[in-house]
Amino acid sequence: MRKLHRYTITSILLIVLSMLFYLFQIFYFRRTADTFFYMIQDFAFIPIQILIVTIIVNELLLWSEKQQTRKKIYMVIELFFSAFGTQMMRHIFTLDGHFEKLKKEFDLKHELTNETFANAMRAAKHFAFGLTFDVEKMQLLQTFLTTHRTFFLAMLGNPNLQEHTTFSDLLLAISHLTEELTFRQSLTNLPKADQDHLLLDIERVYRRVLVEWLLYVKH
């Protein structure tokens, strides 16, 4: 409210100052017609000034702000993969009987071109994983996720990630999987329905983390 009041006073003072200058010009130079001519000419240029200031300059500022936000987002994503994501992927790979086939589908040994990236992204989104329920490997994944729960929950609270919906969805999927694994303290002798449910949650995380990893690599 104080800020708005300050702007109002400033606006009034500037208008009064402008009027004083015009009055001084009229009374001192006695060329009223010229004064009004140049006044109208100045008014004619106002729409162009508005175009330059409010549209072009504003767009440049927005673009710069988006670039800064994007940079911050990828710094957070880099931290995610270096401290947590890559290790989590390794745990999930051990559950995938089709992992060797997936590596061939990705084919990222050579330079990452638009074509190889498109093929890898297609594989990440549509590949038929061969996830199997192995109690020992599932327990390792369970321990890993519960140990790092504070880390990815803290990342969920990062305001910069609000601009990156798909990565936020990945963190939510990881959080859900962790809760499901934590709820089942023992993974031995689980009913088939529970095993299938956990594998479905893992597949959701698996697919999303592969997509985000590819986007990160391309960046």
92: three-class secondary structure by DSSP: helix
* Mean pLDDT to the nearest integer, 63-92: 85
- What is the pLDDT at residue 93? 94
* Mean pLDDT to the nearest integer, 64-79: 80
- What is the pLDDT at residue 144? 94
State phi, psi for 131 to the nearest 5 degrees: -70, 130
Angle at 215 between CA 95 and CA 86, to 5 degrees: 40
Spatial distance between the Cα atoms of 173 and 206, rounded to a whole number of angstroms = 10
Angle at 101 between CA 98 and CA 103, to 5 degrees: 110
Spatial distance between the Cα atoms of 62 and 1, rounded to a whole number of angstroms = 26
Q: Residue 155 pLDDT more than 80? A: yes
pLDDT confidence of 95, banded at 50, 70, 90?
very high
* Mean pLDDT to the nearest integer, 147-173: 83
The CA–CA distances, whole Å, from 131 to 18, 97, 196, 206 equal: 75, 6, 10, 10
Instruction: For residue range 109-136, list pLDDT tens digits in order.
Output: 666 777 778 888 888 888 999 999 999 9
Q: Residue 4 pLDDT more than 70? A: no
Top-confidence residue, 53 or 171? 171
Structure tokens at 3: 């800020």
In order, the DSSP letters of 9-72 are HHHHHHHHHHHHHHHHHHHHH--HHHHHHHHHHHHHHHHHHHIIIIIIIHHHHHHHHHHHHHHH
Spatial distance between the Cα atoms of 183 and 177, rounded to a whole number of angstroms = 10
- What is the pLDDT at residue 64? 73
